[in-house]
Amino acid sequence: MTTLADFSAETLAGKSTDLGTYLGKVVLVVNTASKCGFTPQFEGLQRLYDTYGDKGFVVLGFPCGQFADQEFDTASDIGDFCQANYGVTFPMFAKIKVNGRGQHPLYRWLKASRRDPLGSAIKWNFTKFLIARDGRVIGRYAPNHEPAEIAADIEAALSQGA
């Protein structure tokens, strides 16, 4: 069975990271964008990370410019924007594609694991996937689903063993 541990990704700093390092944690994977109407969700994502981080929860942000080119081109611009405007301290990764040719393998797996009622494709920025401690996808949330609305699901996943 495929899990989060089967993937790696490059951080904004250009370092390859084995996503298996997050096994044992409850993970929220989000495709982000710095110039989107949903960009203020960074604040709610950071609040979730601050609230549950010491209990074994982490947010992983994956910038993507596939939707109306709403992401900066460089990793430094993305990182600077997220830090300066929203105080983001959770891990952020290099800009990726989440759909189509050249999509990141992580997103191919996420979409196959939890389909949207209208299909598997990511429809817009700030689609969220909740991953259990064992690395399996347990939830998918539309872009308009505010981070605070996921808190109960995060708490339930955190209560499922350590």
Instruction: Tell me, yes or no, if 82 is annotated catalytic.
Output: no
Q: State the CB neighbour count (10 A cutoff) for residue 86.
A: 18
Measuring CA to CA, which residue among 28, 134, 17 is closest to residue 7?
A: 17
Is the alpha carbon torsion for 66, 16, 154, 129 positive or negative? positive
- Which member of 36, 75, 96, 106 is catalytic? 36
The C-alpha atoms of residue 58 and residue 42 are separated, in whole angstroms, by: 13
Pair 34, 78: CB distance under 8 Å: yes
The catalytic site residues sit at 36
